Amino acid sequence: MEKIVTTIITCLRPIADGLCTDSYIPANDVSVNATLGFALLLNGVFNIVDPGLDGSVDYNFYDFGGGTVKVVYYGTTTQVPTGLFPLYRAAATGYLTDSIKYIHVASVTSGGGSIWTDVEAFLNNVKTTINNL
């Protein structure tokens, strides 16, 4: 899955950034930006749950209730010491920041609406949660 997501990002980012010279697909295309945004979201999550990006899930998110979400060792509720993943957290936050940017473009291009507002709010919440891990 990670390889597919990386391929999607590699192929769509130049289009969404307006770097394609044929102008066949506009940079603000809703489908391109939405797909790229969600691919970046997945890549951000992969950086937390599979920090080696080797296809082996090492960590997972666990909701302890009351708004407390922590990274745990996969298959357990044992929290991972926060010192183990600051670089992965930073990478994940970067991907989520990019994700929000492209989702916002899709939202504006499509004329907005509650679904886009909800998606942007969700992504911001995920980013905040990851920053607080």
- Element of type H or E holding 3: helix 2-16
| Residue extents of the structural domains in the chain | 2-55+84-131
Helix (H, G, I), strand (E, B), or coil: what is residue 32?
A: helix
Whole-number pLDDT of residue 12: 94
Of 42, 20, 18, 14, the closest CA to residue 99 belongs to 42
Considering Cα of 89, then 95, then 99, then 101, what sign does the dihedral take? positive
The string of pLDDT tens digits covering residues 50-66 is 877 788 888 888 889 88
The string of pLDDT tens digits covering residues 112-129 is 888 888 888 888 888 887
Residue 83: other Cβ atoms inside 10 A: 6
